[in-house]
Amino acid sequence: MINFNYETEFGLENEKDLSSWILSTITSEGYKLEVINYVFCDDEYLHKLNVEFLNHDTLTDIISFDYSVGKIIQGDIFISIERVKDNAKDFNVTFLKELHRVIIHGVLHYCGYKDKSDKEAQVMRAKENHYLAQLA
């Protein structure tokens, strides 16, 4: 089950299509979905979580809490709409493209992909691009 929650004025228009895409990504990676809760929020909301749970006093676009067990995906993904908008401008892409990238980025973390090193980040970006192409 995929749940979309809103702690800001933002709302998705295509929840059903996005749910299908996310589920397809999880299945393609050899995992099974239990539940993912997406929470769309603002910078202030996400900053509080970043400080409280990760001890990082910085703004970020996404925080994911992974409760997966083995190949069964479950977790909470918090996304700052303000950060996504700013990043879209910085990367010269549309807001929706950047939002979709962040949405699938969290899922890929649950599927075992990391992005701490340059090599890991390259693999993560290639996977993001692969799945973004399937959504288009």
In this structure, which amino acid lies at residue 56? H
- The set of residues, in sequence order, having a beta carbon less than 8 Å from that of 119 and lying 6+ positions away, is none
Annotated binding residues for Zn(2+), written as ranges, equal 105, 109, 115
Annotated binding residues, written as ranges, equal 105, 109, 115
Alpha carbons 12 and 115: distance in angstroms, whole number: 27
Supply φ then ψ for residue 41, to 5 degrees.
-145, -170
